A and B are shown apart, each in its own frame.
Chain A
Amino acid sequence: MNHDDSTPQQSVTERQLRRLVVPAPAAYDPRKRIDVIHEPDLDLLWGGTE
């Protein structure tokens, strides 16, 4: 995808999300993307206890 964030008009919802993140276009090289899995199912790994 193209990560151009320069669309002149952002919608209200876009601006709300935009407030939460700092863009880092240089880091969008596919080889350097971060796959983050939030709230992973740790029960699958540890069965609910460590």
Chain B
Amino acid sequence: MDLVVQSPDELLAAVPHVLGFKPEESIILVPFGPGLPITRVDLPKTARDRDELWDAIADVYGRHARPDARVGIVCITEDRRSAELASQHLSTHLDTVGITTHLRLWADGERWREFNTGATGLQTQATAERIAAKTVLTGAVQPAANRASLAASLVGDREPLAQVLPEARAAAVTRSPSGEREWALDRLEQFHADGNRLTDVDGARMLMALETISTRDALWEDMNSQNTASHISLWTDLTRRAPDEVRTAPASMLGFASWLRGDGARAWCALDEVPADRPYSMAAIVASALQNGLHPREWERHQAQMREVAAELDESFVPKPPGHHNQRDAPRAQPATNRPAPGR
């Protein structure tokens, strides 16, 4: 692709396409080269919030910084003063871990200002359309209108599955967990091959199968960097369709798959679909990975090490395959209090 971004206006137009949604009241760190992630957080408005922001991302940037690393700081807000203070604060701290801030850009939807040089300009619709057209040519999905729209895209019609769930639950009792695990893995493989949406009956059966931890883990361990798109497609669909009582597992699977693909924002939206009265350890751990800015390659490296260890062991010492224990993981019920609002 030809060089796309050559001006602040173009950078502002391109940011939603790399984030997957149009940011609002946000501060975004955009790297100028490989190695660093793109990071978006709500714009801090107080000195304490600015300190907390740096505390939250210091490890991520300290860990991933390469020599001569450069970033741009983009603030999207009408509050120009907060943007200037937050970008300066962040720039100063980034410098301490060897990252140079190449620009500090503020925009309110109509105009922009680069704080380092004082340059100003207008955000134009023509530029936004031109950048969007270029991304269409690459086949990229167009960004959601905002983060709330991204979250809303994970909520679908949940009634059809609710209708067939009692029958699926009754059938699950009569089948062996190991047989259901095999069925679920076969159905996953079929989905990878054809990408066809699961019927209501298959969807309900899959959701029931996921309630057995060893089955869920077998499906989870199928995820790798090559098939995340397929996993995201499957778990997005089931998260959209699953009633509350069976949504914890598919939403957590979607959270993990989204993180594995590098998409932290979508992963948070997925975790928000875990019902608040159904705490689920997988969701909590994925949330930790997101908030710590853990790079997906750490997981793949760890998995590779585990495979090496397993390969070196005599077969008799290899852990029993998933399903050896028919452990169930029905979420614990708990009063729905203090539920956080979906992330913005």
Binding site for B on A (CB under 8 A): 1-7, 9-14, 16-24, 27-50
Contacts and interface: CB of A to CB of B under 8 A. Distances in A.
Contacts of B289: 17, 20-21
11 contacts: A2-B277, A10-B285, A11-B213, A20-B298, A21-B289, A24-B292, A31-B42, A32-B56, A33-B268, A34-B57, A45-B14
B3 A46 contact: yes
Contacts of B268: 33, 35
B56 to A, nearest CB: 6
A7 B332 CA distance: 8
Given A6-B279, A28-B287, 20 more contacts: A1-B271, A1-B340, A11-B217, A13-B221, A14-B281, A16-B303, A18-B285, A20-B299, A32-B41, A34-B291, A34-B293, A35-B264, A35-B268, A37-B20, A37-B265, A44-B4, A44-B134, A46-B4, A46-B5, A46-B32
Contact of A33 (B34, B41, B273, B277): B41
A24 to B, nearest CB: 5
B213 A1 contact: no
Contacts of A18: 285, 288
A21 B287 CA distance: 10
Most chain A CB atoms below 10 A, which of B17, B295, B340: B340
Interface string B290-302: 1111111011001
A40 B295 CA distance: 12
Given A11-B214, A13-B220, A34 B284 contact: no
Contacts of B38: 36-37, 40
